[in-house]
Structure 1
Amino acid sequence: MGVVPSTTFKRCYHLPQAMLNYQGLTSKGTRAVCLALVSNAVVSELLLAGNAIGTYGLQCIVDMLKHNTTIQVLDVSDNDLGSAGASLLADLISNTTLASLKASGNHFKGTDAKYFSQAIQKNTTLKHLDLSHNEFTEKGGILLGRSIGENECLESVNLSWNHLRLTGIAGIAEGIKANVSIKKLNVSWNGIGNDGARVLGRALRDNWILEELDVSSSRIGFEGLRMLFAGMVGNETLKRLILTKNPITSSGACVALRLIQSTPSFQIKKLEMADLSVTSEFLDLLSELHKTKPDFVAVYGGILRNKDMILDTLAKHSDIRDPLEIFMEFIKQNNLRLMDMFTRLDKDKNFSISRLEFERGIKDAEIPLDGLQMDKLINRLDFNGDGEIDFGELLDGYHQYVQRRRKKRKDSEYMQALSNQIRPISSRSRYVFRNPSRPSSPSYDSDPNSRPVTPHCINLSGPLGNRDEFIMSLNHLPNNRNHFLNVSDMNVTDVNALSDDSDDSDDTGCEIQVPQLYDHHGIGDLTISDW
């Protein structure tokens, strides 16, 4: 057949799962696999993602599955199948007993949705359909919505990353209104906006089946959140709502809790806003909600004290350890390679780590991460947002960790060098930086002994560099109103130190204005003149 035998396929031929993702399979290789599987009664899952099976290879798969009824799960994601592939997959859906189909990332267009629409309407066996990361656009959303409304066997549908926008999501919403089987719907990353949230809310009011809705990264703001909840009043089946990466604000999160508590029909048990920092008001509302719904779970990103975003940012950088850093340090301390850790977490050996596998692996390894840190770590490593972590994504996370460590080390070295240039000086020094915009203070020139106890001097022992670095060094002075600079050359680009007894020298420096500092230190326009 002109094909090199694959040891990977040979190993999995007698296993329930034939994992052939990213094996470089072409049309010929796919044909060979299909010929071997025609009469196979063991393999129930055929995974072919990330290959180059081509139209002919897909045709071989379709023909094989018409005779093989054992295989129930098929993954042909990321094979660049295009419109011709969409037509063949529609034939596959219509004429086989497949239960799960994943065809993500195959460049299907809006016009290709007609093939899937017709097939989905006729199908009576397919339960899980993943058409994410394609380009169905608004037109495709309308066509797929019609088929969803008439299908009675689908249980989960993933249409994320398909450019559906408002018109497309309106078509999907119409289908959800009439659907009697779908329990899980993912329409994230489709830019549906506030109006799209309103349309979905109205659809949920008439739907009594859907249990999970994912609208992450959908440009839903505070008003959109309010319309979503207002529209779905009366729904009694939705249990999980994912709103991560939407600009709903902390106020919107509080509104969501109030509506869940005040609407008896709502049965939402999990509300996810993993990237959103909440206020103490939200925590109070959550505590109150737990009194009536003790099993309710809210996933959020952090806590804002006094509704101050600046304080939250400082807390993230100072008090809370980076979960990626904890994870990578565990690998280093245990003398593991990245591949070793990946293999340990990849329990089913499909070269991809699911969220459940990752969480279980972290707990089994006793890595000190709480639930919130684990969610943050998974979201950071899952760069493409498909819910799986492959080795490439883990490697990208490692590179991020290394870059941050290098930056921290450089910052630390610079601050150490700067701190070595700052020292207390005696009260003999005669030159004071004063704030001309503040009320005048007692003259320290006339009474040196009345000078504050903690004046400081920058003792520059070498070239400081440029003006920006000079200003940076002044920004790190203690926050007093009086500071001293011991210099001999005020060129700023090349500032050198004087000895401690420079007070009696006749050297003179040119005047330098540094107005950027008065907000930070409260010392007004800082001048250095006439030494």
Structure 2
Amino acid sequence: MRIPYPPKPTLPRACEGRITAGSPRVCPHETPTEPAPQSSDEALYCEAEVPQTVRKVKPDRENSETDLEIEDNEKLFTTGQKELYLEACKLVGVVPVSYFIRNMEESYVNLNHHGLGPRGTKAIAIALVSNTTVTKLELEDNGITEEGILSLVEMLQENYYLQEMNISNNQLGLEGARIISDFLETNTSSVWSLELSGNDFEEESAALLCQVLSSNYRIKKLDLSHNQFSDVGGEHLGQMLANNVGLTSLDLSWNHFHTRGTVALCNGLRGNVTLTKLDLSMNGLGNEGALALGEVLRLNSCLVYLDVSSNDISNEGASKISKGLESNESLKVLKLFLNPISVDGALSLILSIKRNPKSRMEVLDISNVLVSEQFMKTLDGVYAVHPQLDVVFKGVQGPSAKNTISLLTNPMKLIQQNKVPLNQYQVRELIKRLDEKTGMVNFSFLNTVKL
């Protein structure tokens, strides 16, 4: 596979599949005295001769079969990498990105919103062929199109160090989905996290991607949010999830799934044994979709995080989900905010958790729901059974202003006023404020609390 670029006849041909920054460019399969002809614009790498100041001949004692080696002299290697990128930019006719030059030896490179275009992406890809330090690359919103993604996937066939790549919002469309699908079918890259959000993928793209993902086990995290998958896409994704044994995180938020697509998706989730995080927020699942999700929660023993926010799920749908929560032993986070759920639906959810002694629920997000004083009393009972649980709601309605203040008052103020004991809500809020995940309690902000 070769990344095309404008030919430069005066420069020698690079060794097939290898490029070296800081060492002689000798192909082990060709005699150095026999110059090979330049190919057309199908050449894979920048045919750039590294300047003499950075050339370094390997000692005779080295007997390596690969040119992708870092020289002992780190300074020379660094200079070679930068010179390689600069020459690539000159050949493809783009202005070098100074940020990339400064950070090409860092593990994380963020080139989001740099206006690279397909040619700028090609120059980056040429430079990354032999790069061994970059493990995460961000290329969101660069208009790379299918030409740029072709350069990237050809680079990934040679680079085994890059592990996470974000190419969201790049107008890839159906042809881009086809190129990515062909790449994923090889199952040889080291990339395990792929973000493809907002790339105008429709049903045909879903079919292409899902066909190869059914047998791909390397991709662990996949973001397909903000695309245009609808019910047909949901059917393809459901079939993929039924067979896939690699994905652990899948983001399908901001698509167009409705009842039919959701049911198909859930059918695939029932037997899935690897997916732990699923984001279906901002779709149109409705109560019928909630019924299918409740069945998934009853049968699936792997899912840990589920976001179904803003999906037109009412109290009826909350009740269906509650049925699944009564027997689920794996889910820890359930997000249901921005759904038309009232205090009755909220009660059914927390009571289902209370009835399940093996529940591992830690966060229930119903942050748009105004709860009642009776709900708070019930919640105290649920906390007694499941002290790890945190229910996030909008506020308390009904009781007098005095009771509401007493219920929700900042616990730090009550400590300073010696008003203890605290209620359950205040105890949990106190723990949140004191816990900084360091193993130590920080009381420094006590002096900043205004009474």
TM-score between both structures, scaled by the size of structure 2: 0.68
Q: Distance in 2 between matches of 1:369 and 1:88?
A: 57
Q: 3-state SS of the aligned residue for 1:266?
A: coil
Match for 2:363 among 267, 270, 286?
270
Query: Does 1:16 find its partner at 2:107?
Result: yes
Aligned residue type for 2:373: S
**Counterpart position of 1:213:** 306
Aligned partner letter, 1:94: E
Q: For 1:186 and 1:174, locate their aligned partners in 2 and report how far apart those are by CA, in whole Å.
A: 16
Cα shift at 1:265: 4.0
Q: Structure 1 residues 58, 271: CA separation in 2 closer, same or farther (over 3 Å shift)?
A: same
Q: How does 1:289-438 map to 2 (within 5 A)?
A: 289-306=382-399
1:31 and 2:106 are equivalent in the alignment: no
Whether the 8 Å CA contact 1:105–1:133 is kept in 2: the answer is yes
Task: Judge which range, 287-296 or 230-239, deviates more.
Answer: 230-239
Which residue matches 2:98? Answer: 7
Residue number among 284, 298, 303 corresponding to 2:377 in the alignment: 284
Using the alignment, how far apart are the partners of 2:327 and 2:350 within structure 1? 16
2:270 to 152, 157, 177: 177
Cα distance in structure 1, aligned partners of 2:176 and 2:369: 40
CA distance in 1, matches of 2:294, 2:313: 12
Shift in CA distance, 194/59, structure 1 to aligned 2, threshold 3 Å: same
Mark the CA change 1:18 to 1:368 in structure 2 (over 3 Å): closer, same or farther: farther
User: Which residue pairs with 1:100 in the alignment?
Assistant: 193
- Return the letter of the residue paired with 1:251: D
| Match runs of 1:248-263 below 5 Å | 248-263=341-356
Question: Does 2:147 match 1:53?
Answer: no
TM-fit CA distance, 1:305: 2.5
Look up the match of 1:524: none
Q: C-alpha separation between the residues in 2 aligned to 1:187 and 1:71?
A: 28
1:489 counterpart residue number: none
- Distance change (3 Å), C-alpha of 1:224 and 1:50: same
Report if the CA contact (8 A) 1:176-1:204 is conserved. no
Q: Secondary structure, in 3 states, of the residue corresponding to 2:100?
A: helix
1:239 equivalent in structure 2: 332
Q: Secondary structure at the match of 2:169?
A: coil
- Structure 2, unpaired ranges of 5+: 1-91, 410-435
Residue 282 of structure 1 aligns with an amino acid whose one-letter code is: F
Describe the superposition over 1:17-76 as per-residue Cα deviations: whole angstroms up to 9, x where unpaired. 111000011000000000000000000011100111011100000100011110010101
Q: Does 1:90 align with 2:177?
A: no
- The residue type equivalent to 1:38 in the other structure is V
Q: Which whole-Å CA distance do the structure 1 matches of 2:103 and 2:267 have between them?
A: 43
Counterpart AA for 1:253? A
* Map 1:147-158 → 2, pairs under 5 A: 147-158=240-251
3-state secondary structure, aligned to 1:301? strand
SS of equivalent residue, structure 2 residue 159: coil
Structure 1 residues 214, 135: closer, same or farther in 2, change over 3 A?
A: same
C-alpha distance in structure 2 between counterparts of 1:11 and 1:280, whole Å: 58
Amino acid at match of 2:354: Q
1:105 positional shift: 0.7
Three-state SS of the structure 2 residue aligned to 1:122 is coil
Deviations 1:120-151 (A, max 9, x none): 11211111000000001000010011111111
Residue 368 of structure 1 and its aligned partner are, at CA, apart by 12
Which residue does the alignment assign to 1:161? Answer: 254
Could you tell me the percent identity over the aligned residues? 35
Query: What's the counterpart of residue 521 of structure 1?
Result: none
Asked whether the 8 Å contact 2:325–2:356 carries over to 1, the reply is: no
Q: Is the 8 A contact 1:111 1:136 kept in 2?
A: no
Shift of 1:92: 2.8
Counterpart of 2:239 (choices 146, 149, 161) is 146
Quote the Cα distance in structure 1 between the aligned partners of 2:264 and 2:229: 12
2:68 is matched with none
Q: Which amino acid aligns with 1:62?
A: V
Distance 1:18 1:78 in 2: 17
Farther-moved stretch of structure 1 (84-93 vs 17-26): 84-93
Match of 2:320 among 189, 214, 227: 227
Could you tell me whether the CA contact under 8 Å between 1:254 and 1:281 is conserved in 2? no
Q: Does 1:65 align with 2:156?
A: yes
Paired residue type of 1:42 = T
- Please name the residue that 2:168 is paired with: 77
Tell me the secondary structure at the aligned position of residue 214 of structure 2: helix
Give the SS at the match of 2:393.
strand
**Number of residue pairs the alignment of both structures matches:** 324
User: Whole-Å Cα distance in 2 between the matches of residues 285 and 93 of structure 1?
Assistant: 50
Contact 2:322 2:348 in 1 (8 A): no
Contact 2:298 2:323 in 1 (8 A): no
The 1:10/1:368 distance shift into structure 2, 3 A limit, reads: farther
Q: Provide closer, same or farther for how the CA distance between residues 270 and 64 of structure 1 changes in structure 2, counting only shifts above 3 A.
A: same
Q: Aligned letter for 2:178?
A: S
Gaps of 5+ in 1: 321-358, 371-531
Deviations 1:192-219, CA, capped at 9 Å, x for gaps: 0011000011122111111111100011
Partner of 2:206: 113
Q: Which is helix-richer, 1 or 2?
A: 1
- Residue 217 of structure 2 corresponds to 124
Larger Rg: 1
Q: CA RMSD in A?
A: 2.7
Q: Retained in 2: the 8 A contact 1:188–1:215?
A: yes
Displacement, 1:367? Answer: 13
Q: Is the 8 A contact 1:111 1:139 kept in 2?
A: no
Contact 2:326 2:353 in 1 (8 A): no
CA distance in 2, matches of 1:11, 1:59: 25
What is the alpha-carbon distance in structure 1 between the residues aligned to residue 447 and residue 303 of structure 2? 36
SS in 1 for 2:250: strand
Q: Distance in 2 between matches of 1:72 and 1:368?
A: 46
Query: Residue type of the partner of 1:244?
Result: F
Q: Secondary structure at the match of 1:124?
A: coil
Aligned-partner Cα distance in 2 for 1:243–1:191: 13
2:153 match: secondary structure: helix
Which structure has more RCO (C-alpha within 8 Å, separation ≥ 6)? Answer: 2
In structure 2, distance between residues paired with 1:368 and 1:128 = 43
| TM-score, with length taken from structure 1 | 0.58
The C-alpha deviation readout for 1:351-391, integer Å capped at 9, x for no partner, is xxxxxxxx99xx9x979999xxxxxxxxxxxxxxxxxxxxx
Letter in 2 for 1:178: G
